[in-house]
Chain A
Amino acid sequence: MSQILEIPVIHMLNDLDKEFIQSLQVSTDRSYRGFRHIEFEIDKEKSVYFYILDKQEDYFTQSIWDRTIPRAPFTLFLVEEINHTVQDLITQYERKYATPYFIFIPFDKSVEDKSNDLAQEDNESVFYFNSDEENGVIKTLLSALKQFTERREEVEK
């Protein structure tokens, strides 16, 4: 029986395709009303579904958010940088949803202090991913998943 990991994604990237989609080996890419469905197949039995949520101000889109976010292990924020707008958005998100989140930022290779290994900010929710590397996002996702399970184990203790 196949297993699916569903991750809602809220993005504020300049070029979603270039900075996120193209760094995945996408097996399915379909747009629906309210969201875009990107499937990454790990193997024949496991897939990751990224739900890129639309940002329209309508009731239908709002309901998509309410249906996907609470059921996901965490939400992914894809942003260029953490600025005032992003912080506001995160604050509002935290007030509305109990679902934890991670922030993924495509890192600029021209910045010398970022190594090829995925670096993590002091903020444990922030990860950088290499959008030019094949499946760069997936490697970052793996790190985020590990941290997520570690956190959960600590809470359970």
Chain B
Amino acid sequence: MRDFLIVSHNEDHFHLFNQHLGHLPVHFSWGGELGDALENIPIENPAIVLLINEDFQELTQWVDAYIVAETEIPFICCSGLLQKEKRLELWKKGAADLFCFPMNRKELEYRLKSFLGTDTDKGPDRWEMRGRLEDLNLIDLIHSFEEGNKNGVLHLQKGAQRGRIEFNKGKIVNARLAKRDPLEAIEVMATWFYGRFWTQLDKEKHTKRILLDNQQIILECLNHINMQYRLLARLPAENKVLYASPDLDYEEMGPTNRNVLLLFKEGNTIQKFLENYSEKSIPVLERMIQWIKDGWLLDKDAFEKKLKQLQKEKEESGIRKMVNKIFTKSDKKSAPKHPDSGESSKQFEEEEMAVSVTRRSYLFNQYSTLDDFIQALEELS
């Protein structure tokens, strides 16, 4: 498995490579802009760097900067259709290859494969693998099992969640993650980009519970990953803390909504939530988008504002309760009793009478002093 680092202004390019060429034994990683990529190259240590830029002038500047950086890693230039002189210029700068888009996918695949070289680490020990999902995701691992035509189990772990995928001669036959349907389990695990994996080879014939072949499963996973990316793009940043609105009535909700929103009660990020959530993420992310529109999920400022507002309403309702209590007590104490109070209109009149009887009289009578006060206040002003 070789690492190809994609350098571009646009992260969609990285997703496109993953989507259409993820079946190759290549691990695509996203480098961002050239400056960021050059900082990360010593850590990532890719086999190839793809410099993708539609602007030829900027692309040549990137190539020059890349050469100055002396990474000694071959680079491939990717741009739009270029005239011969421009292509020659890039060749002369030392590009390992030059991809002019649009390009037929099969041709792209063929040309990328030429950089894969021979696999030198074949052997029986090769399949007893363990590692991090940050380095090899599920789709990469499925390809590995398929290539090796192996029987066994691929174990994955993310946080407290643990799942497994069973292979018969390189074909996926079953998957388990909590109580999920096998295909759903694989789709969920395909979105695990953090965690660890290990393989366990055996000679057992695992029960076939999935009818799709590997390619179809991978396509389903890619669709799932893409959908998740699209939904995440419509949500606030994954590391932004969100809060469930403090006035939500959890009893009125269904169990899924309640369980998810409770996880945001004290504040949570989407990233942390997804890391720990074992159910299918797509429906929940769709709900989150709606919750944000409806004000059920709030950012910190909106949450604090809402808390303040509720506090104020609580205080106000405290007055109302107290006043109601006072009034109810007084009315009950002194309300005259009428024996023939059967009809509703009579009852209303009786209530009105009771109120006027219990009403505290106006006792102020020092009106002359008010004139003195008015005069004194006017002089003060």
Residues of A within 8 A of B (CB): 3, 5, 10, 12, 14, 42-43, 46, 48, 55-57, 61-62, 65-66, 69-73, 85-86, 88-89, 92-93, 95-100, 135, 138-139, 141-142, 145-146, 148-149, 152
Is B373 on the interface with A (CB-CB < 8 A)? yes
Q: A46-B376, A62-B329 are in contact. Are A98 and B360 (CB under 8 A)?
A: yes
B364 touches A99 (CB 8 A): yes
Residue of B nearest to A95 (CB): B355
Q: Which 4 A-B pairs have the closest CB atoms?
A: A98-B362, A57-B322, A85-B316, A142-B377
Once the chains are docked, how many angstroms separate the CA of A85 from the CA of B371? 34
Once the chains are docked, how many angstroms separate the CA of A12 from the CA of B314? 11
Which chain B residues border A142 with CB–CB below 8 Å?
374, 377-378, 381
Is B10 on the interface with A (CB-CB < 8 A)? no
Add 7 more A-B contacts to A145-B373, A149-B370, A149-B371 (CB < 8 A).
A46-B376, A61-B322, A71-B363, A72-B364, A92-B327, A145-B377, A152-B367
Is B315 on the interface with A (CB-CB < 8 A)? yes
Is B313 on the interface with A (CB-CB < 8 A)? yes
Residue of A nearest to B381 (CB): A139
Q: A96-B359, A99-B362, A139-B381 are in contact. Are A46 and B373 (CB under 8 A)?
A: yes
Which of B324, B327, B370 has the most chain A CB atoms inside 10 A of its CB?
B370
A149 touches B367 (CB 8 A): yes
Residues of B within 8 A of A (CB): 312-313, 315-327, 329-330, 355, 358-364, 366-367, 369-374, 376-378, 380-381
B321 touches A73 (CB 8 A): no
Once the chains are docked, how many angstroms separate the CA of A66 from the CA of B362? 11
Once the chains are docked, how many angstroms separate the CA of A142 from the CA of B380? 10
Which chain B residues border A139 with CB–CB below 8 Å?
381
Once the chains are docked, how many angstroms separate the CA of A92 from the CA of B289? 43
Once the chains are docked, how many angstroms separate the CA of A156 from the CA of B312? 41
Which chain A residues border B315 with CB–CB below 8 Å?
12, 55
Name the one of B317, B330, B359, B380 contacting A85, with C-beta atoms under 8 angstroms.
B317
Which chain A residues border B322 with CB–CB below 8 Å?
55-57, 61-62
B378 touches A62 (CB 8 A): no
Query: What are 18 A-B contacts with C-beta separation under 8 Å?
Result: A3-B373, A5-B370, A10-B319, A12-B316, A55-B315, A57-B318, A61-B322, A70-B364, A71-B363, A73-B364, A73-B366, A85-B320, A96-B323, A97-B360, A98-B362, A138-B381, A142-B378, A145-B377
B373 touches A42 (CB 8 A): yes
Which chain B residues border A10 with CB–CB below 8 Å?
319
Name the one of A5, A62, A69, A89 contacting B319, with C-beta atoms under 8 angstroms.
A89
Shortest C-beta distance, B374 to chain A (Å), equals 5
Which chain A residues border B374 with CB–CB below 8 Å?
142, 145-146, 149
Shortest C-beta distance, A52 to chain B (Å), equals 13
Which chain B residues border A65 with CB–CB below 8 Å?
326
Q: A12-B316, A42-B377, A65-B326 are in contact. Are A70 and B370 (CB under 8 A)?
A: no
